[in-house]
Amino acid sequence: MGSLRAIAILAALAGAMAVATAVLAPAPAVADDRQSDADFAKRMFAGRVPEPKAYACFVRRYDREHLAQHPLQKVSAMRLLIGTEKDADFPNLQYSFRLGVNFRDRAGDFESSGDCGHAPTIKDPDNSAVPIEDRVTKPAGIDFECDVDCDGGGVTVSLAHDDNSVIVTLDHIRIWKGDNPDAAAAGVLQSGADDKVFRLDRAGLNSCAPLVADRKELAAMRRKR
């Protein structure tokens, strides 16, 4: 009698452990997203994993020869800083961007900035309540849609050339001179015949330091170069 009771107790404990394991184990979709999130971060940040922050810098300075061959191009230099930070409020990494632009016919440094959301390889949580057959899913590519607040346009950023470059595509994006985004300083970089697609190459983080005004963030970024 005692042995039967012991067997029943052991069976109940085994069942409880199985239930607990099932509850604690991440769902397959969540586990897949976490892996995709980590894999994309390694690509974007050249093998680095955010601890808790990570940065990637891409730069292009157009020489006289290039500008002579593209007389309609207004942009003479462009730098892009992609950043991310682990946040307890979000299950996946959230990305942001800062863009620096110089013009061939306008003096000064111009900037823009905004959010890129989560990695493009992550399933869009906004579609979670929509039937699978009706969901709009992102392509299994590497395109970021990065936006400026208040309908300020934005850019699409695509990793390229073995992740050592990015292709930046824009229609229009609000820019401002220096670090002052108020209405008086704001303007628009509008795409044109030669100002729509830009290839920027991966560079050291110091090349994007002018885009960071906060001293603490700049110091943290330089520690990761």
- Written as one string, the DSSP assignment of 18-49 is HHHHHHHSPPHHHHHHHHHHHHHHHHHTTT--
Provide the residue range defining the domain that includes 32. 27-223
Residue 60's pLDDT is 97
Is position 203 within any domain? yes
Assess if residue 72 is contained within a domain.
yes
**Cβ 111 vs Cβ 182: under 8 Å:** no
C-alpha 218/C-alpha 94 separation (Å) is 19
Question: Quick one: which H or E segment has residue 69?
Answer: helix 64-69
Number of domains forming the structure of the chain:
1
- The answer to the question of residue 12 being in a domain is no
Residue among 54, 112, 114 nearest 84 (CA): 54
Rounded CA-CA distance 57/44 in Å is 10
Q: Average pLDDT of 112-128?
A: 75
What is the pLDDT confidence band of residue 44, given thresholds at 50, 70 and 90?
very high
Could you tell me if residue 145 is inside a domain?
Answer: yes
Its pTM stands at: 0.78
**Taking residues 12-28, what's their average pLDDT?**
50
86 within a domain of the structure (yes/no): yes
Task: For 199-217, write each residue's pLDDT tens digit.
Answer: 999 999 999 999 988 877 7
Q: Which residue has the higher pLDDT, 135 or 62?
A: 62
pLDDT tens, position by position, 63-118: 999 999 999 999 999 999 999 988 888 888 999 999 999 999 999 999 999 999 88
Is there a domain that residue 6 lies in?
no
Residue 11 banded pLDDT, cuts 50, 70, 90: low
Residue 117 lies in a domain: yes
CB-CB contact of 166 with 159 (8 Å)? yes
Can you give the pLDDT at residue 61? Answer: 97
Q: Look at residue 136 and tell me whether its pLDDT is greater than 90.
A: no
Establish if 165 belongs to a structural domain: yes
Report the Cα 93 to chain-centroid distance in Å.
8
pLDDT score of 127 more than 60:
no
